[in-house]
Amino acid sequence: MTNKHSTIEQRLEKLERQNRRMKLAGLGALVIAAVVILAGLAWPRGSASAQAGGSATVIRATSFMLVDAKGRERARLGMYEGAPMLDLYDADGKLRTSLGAFSDGPILALYDANGKERAMLGAKSVGPMLGLNDANGKERVMLAVPSVGPMLGLNDVNGKERAMLAVLSDGPRLGLFDADEKLRASLVAKSVGPELGLNDANGNETVVLTASLAGPGLGLTDANGFGANIGVTNLVTPTTGETHTTSAASIVLFGKDKKVLWSAPQ
C-alpha cells in the first residue's frame, strides 16, 4: 500500500509538471462503526455525565481484528508506519479494500479477487486524484486536479502514458505520446487561437499549425534548425527593430540562426 501510495503521488506530480471534484460520503462513519464492532461495544449516547456511573469506557490499542463465524480474519484496523489504516478481506482472506490516512492525505484502494489493485482514490497535498488499473495491476487511467488544472491521463498496457487531456491556464490541451512517453503531438486551444504541434522522435517540435487572430500559419523546422513559414509570420526588421506581420499569402525561409534567408513576396 505504501509503495503504491508513493507511486501515485509521483504520477500526479509528473502530470502536473507536464500539463471532478469527488466526494466520499460515510467513510468517517465506516471507520467509527468498525471500531465499535471490533471492540464489541455499543456507542454511548449523550454526554459522559449522563451515563450510568458518570464515566465512559475507552479502549486503547494499536490494532483491532474482526473475524467471521469460522474464525477467518475479515477486517483489521490498526497503525501502519505511523498512519491509521482499515483493511477489509474477503472470505478467502484476500485483501479487497484499504483505507489509510497518510500524512499528506487519505487514500482508498480497491483490489480484485486476484489481489490486484484496480482503483485508488486519494486526496493528496498536490490535489485529488483517481487511478484505475487493469487486470495486471498496471495503471491505465489517471484523473487528477492539481493546482495547474484538471487532467486526464491514459496509459498503454505497459503503464506508459500515451495520451493526456488537460485544462490549463492557457486553455484546454491534448497531448499524445509515443511508447517512450515522448510527446509527439499536441493540440492547444489558446485565447489567441488554436495550435497543433508535431514533434520528432527526440521531442523537438518540427511542425506547428496555427490559426491566430492575425490569420493561419504553418511552421516547419528540421533537425538542423532550418525552417520555413507559410502564411502569417511575425518578422523583425533588422535595421529598425520593428515587428511586422506577413499575410497568409507569404513564404519565409530561415537559417539555423533564425535569420531570414529568403521571403516572398519581397
Mean pLDDT along residues 117-130: 95
**Separation of alpha carbons 253 and 29, rounded Å:** 68
**Cβ atoms within 10 Å, residue 64:** 17
- Separation CA 10–CA 191 (nearest Å): 31
Element (H, E) at 24: none
Q: Is the pLDDT of residue 13 over 60?
A: no
What pLDDT was estimated at residue 235? 86
106 pLDDT above the threshold of 50: yes
The average pLDDT across 185-191 equals 95
* Owner of C-alpha cell 484505475: 132
Please give the share of the chain, as a percent, with pLDDT higher than 70: 79
Per-chain mean pLDDT for the chain: 82
pTM, two decimals, is 0.72
Look up residue 116 and give its amino acid: K
Is it true that domain 2-191 has CATH number 3.90.930.1?
Answer: yes
Cell of 15: 502530470
Could you tell me the CA-to-CA distances from 181 to 106, 139, 157, 172 in Å, in that order?
A: 29, 14, 13, 20
Q: ω before 265 within 30° of 0 (cis)?
A: yes
**Given this model, what pLDDT does residue 237 score?**
75
C-alpha distances (whole Å) from 108 to each of 121, 138, 150, 169 are 5, 17, 20, 30
The reported pLDDT for the residue numbered 143 is 97
pLDDT tens digits along 211-261: 999 999 999 999 999 999 999 998 887 777 788 899 999 999 999 998 999
Question: 12 or 86, which is more confident?
Answer: 86
pLDDT of residue 183: 96
Domain boundaries, the chain: 2-191
Write out pLDDT tens, residues 16-32: 454 433 222 233 333 33
